[in-house]
């Protein structure tokens, strides 16, 4: 299995359970690893034969910016399902962080893994 990845994708969205969090946009940060096979793309040098990280990033930005979540757990699950369903990804690991949410911590969040490695 090969991995196509995206690191520190920053997106502004409404996230949180407190009243003040429902009124402002906050940054979330994503690290995404997606299991794929890059051999055909490498052999043909054709972007159509690979998992296009730009397309994935643009789709995630649009989805997250247009959504509101109470919990990072919910956002992580929905992001994972979107990537797997829309891009045919069979396995992924996602770190979803909420920078600055806790005083004294640079970042907090969740790390999930979904699907089966091949």
Report pLDDT for 28: 98
CATH number, domain at 44?
3.30.1130.10
Alpha-carbon gap, residue 118 to 83, rounded angstroms: 17
Range of the domain at 20: 2-115
The structural domain count of the chain equals 1
pLDDT single digits (tens) 24-80: 999 999 999 999 999 999 999 999 999 999 999 999 999 999 999 999 999 999 999
Alpha-carbon gap, residue 57 to 31, rounded angstroms: 11
Q: Which residues are catalytic?
A: 98
Alpha-carbon gap, residue 49 to 28, rounded angstroms: 30
Residue 16 token pair? 């949180």
- The pTM of the full predicted model, rounded to 2 decimals, is 0.94
pLDDT single digits (tens) 28-40: 999 999 999 999 9
């Amino acid at each position: 299995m090969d991995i196509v990845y995206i690191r520190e994708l920053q997106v502004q969205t409404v996230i949180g359970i407190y009243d003040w969090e429902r009124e402002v946009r906050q940054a979330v940060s994503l690290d995404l690893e997606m299991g794929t096979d890059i051999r055909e793309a490498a052999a043909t040098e054709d972007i159509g034969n690979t998992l296009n990280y730009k397309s994935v990033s643009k789709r995630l930005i649009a989805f997250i910016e247009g959504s509101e979540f109470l919990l990072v757990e919910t956002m992580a699950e929905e992001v994972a399902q979107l990537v797997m369903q829309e891009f045919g990804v069979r396995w992924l690991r996602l770190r979803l962080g909420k920078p600055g949410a806790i005083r004294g911590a640079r970042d907090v969040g969740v790390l999930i893994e979904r699907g089966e490695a091949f």
